[in-house]
Amino acid sequence: MTPSRPRTARPSPLAERVAAGESPLGRARRVGRILRTLAQTHPDAHCELDFSTPLELAVATILSAQSTDKMVNTVTPVLNARYPTALDYAKADRAELEEMIHSTGFFRNKANSLIGLGAALVDRHDGVLPRTLDELVKLPGIGRKTANVILGNAFDVPGITVDTHFGRLVRRWAWTTEEDPVKVEHAVGALVPKRDWTIVSHQVIFHGRRVCHARRPACGACTLAGDCPAFGTGPTDPVEAAALVKGPSRARLLALAGAPQDVAPAPVGPRDEDVP
């Protein structure tokens, strides 16, 4: 893949066209190109929370609020061994549970959610996580985003996960101007084939964590630059941008974007950690 990528920060014809009012057909074609490029850019996209059962994924997703997947994955192995069933969570000692999840932040609220989730599953669903959005969002600690994560990754039911990365990117790409996550979900759902909702969610989130950062997106080292109306939000110089690309596939991402691969990554501070 050799993406067409502008090299200057001048307003692009694409940005001007989108600002003036992009036609539905033009947007649909651009969305299709972005989807194809995303699939080529992030063939390894997946849920980065470790789990082996639907309950483990539900627990991990609850813990991921205002935390990183990396931090959650350090906590859940011991947690899953201590509380393998919904009944175990329902009967959990609150102080012990809070201590085990303390490092993920907001541990009191999360403990309330986990104990409440266990009790609700035992009382209403024989201890088994339900498989529908309507039933999932009625459970403690599970909102629409969490429910879509569970549906898409534990039950293979297509779902769009609108986290902060996803919302930021689809607005930068002018897929929607909506800010409300539910409205974003519906707007993107109308543009992306339903069968692809889950994998596209992963691909967009991967791109947000590795390339299209909130503060300084790596515009000059992005495979999507040619179809992005927000090109120039971050550094457009390939060398400067290359330093901002991160993640285990950094070398491949730089090669795909035609950016120099011998640039050292920029230091990552606490404020640069990606949170859902």
Q: In the chain, count of helices (H) and strands (E)?
A: 14, 0
Alpha carbon distance 204, 42 (integer Å): 9
Q: Give yes or no: 163 in active site.
A: yes
Three-state DSSP state, 134: helix
Say how far apart CA 202 and CA 153 lie, in whole Å: 10
Catalytic (active site) residue 145: yes
Selecting among 50, 123, 134, 145, the annotated active-site residue is 145
Give the per-residue SS3 of 61-125: HHHCCCCCHHHHHHHHHHHHHHCCCHHHHHCCCHHHHHHHHHHHCCHHHHHHHHHHHHHHHHHHH
The residue from 69, 110, 163, 246 that is catalytic is 163
Rounded CA-CA distance 198/237 in Å is: 33
The catalytic site residues sit at 145, 163
